[in-house]
Amino acid sequence: MEKREELYSGKAKSVFKTDDPDRFVLSFRDDTSAFDGLKVEQLARKGMVNNKFNAFIMEKLQAAGIPTHFEALLNDTESLVKRLDMIPVECVVRNISAGSLVKRLGVEEGLELNPPTFELFLKNDALHDPMVNESLAQSFGWATAEQLAKMKALTFEVNTVLKKLFLDAGILLVDYKLEFGVFSDGQVYLGDEFSPDGCRLWDKDTREKLDKDRFRKGLGNVVEAYEEVGRRLGMQFD
């Protein structure tokens, strides 16, 4: 597979075309950002850690029957993925209250949410990713009713698989966001990435934060925390 010109450069990843029109190379960089790009730093090894973390999680999800765009780990910082037409709506599941939910509703952090909540957000940094609903997504043509139903079902399937995976490693899956897209076969697939950049992970006993909140809150040891999660799950980074 030959990597060709860069198609897109986001806040922490770049996407490259290949000689196969249905395949992209996803490149994970060391860039780290928060607050819609207002806080930006480079953290050594982060691209490598997130690339391998994502590959591990995507393979676990595929083994559970969840369709993802991930195809192969190419090297330390790059993966081969299916080319998806991305749906501009993020799916968020919350198992424990934290982050924007706490600010928005004035609730206490750390409450167990039973059942878990499901929310949709429009991917738009300029508007700070506003919360939307299924009616808006359909009216504005962001997604069809069928696509939204599939996205919601897959998001909760992911929750079933990953809550147990992390809990078995002594980690609470607090919340996470997922992005989906449509492949050339017309089907909806999980896209983007699953790493500590896009979820909240707490130590089960101490509730120490082991995710991107370490960067947002200036707690330090961001990549070290990501590696600690990976090691508990059985990942190899060296």
Q: pLDDT digit of tens for each residue in the chain (238 aa)?
A: 788 899 989 889 999 999 999 999 999 999 887 776 667 889 999 999 999 999 999 999 999 999 999 999 999 999 999 999 999 999 999 999 999 999 999 999 999 999 999 999 999 989 999 999 999 999 999 999 999 999 999 999 999 999 999 999 999 999 999 999 999 999 999 999 999 999 999 999 999 999 999 999 998 899 999 999 999 999 988 7
3-state SS class at 161:
helix
Other CB atoms within a 10 A radius of the CB of residue 53 amount to 23
Topology adopted by domain 3-82? Phosphorylase Kinase; domain 1 (3.30.200)
Q: What's the pLDDT at 40?
A: 80
Q: What's the pLDDT at 238?
A: 74
> Please, are residues 182 and 170 in contact by the beta-carbon 8 Å criterion?
no
Predicted TM-score of the model (pTM): 0.95
For residues 156 and 23, what is the distance between their CA atoms, to the nearest angstrom? 27
For residues 169 and 203, what is the distance between their CA atoms, to the nearest angstrom? 9
Indicate the length of the chain as a whole number: 238
Topology adopted by domain 85-221? D-amino Acid Aminotransferase; Chain A, domain 1 (3.30.470)
Q: Say if residue 115 is preceded by a cis peptide, omega within 30 of 0.
A: yes
List the domain boundaries for the chain: 3-82, 85-221
For residues 143 and 145, what is the distance between their CA atoms, to the nearest angstrom? 7
Alpha-helical runs (H) found in 94-218: 100-105, 134-139, 145-168, 213-216
Nearest Cα neighbor of 68 from 226, 180, 167, 230 is 180
Q: What's the pLDDT at 38?
A: 65
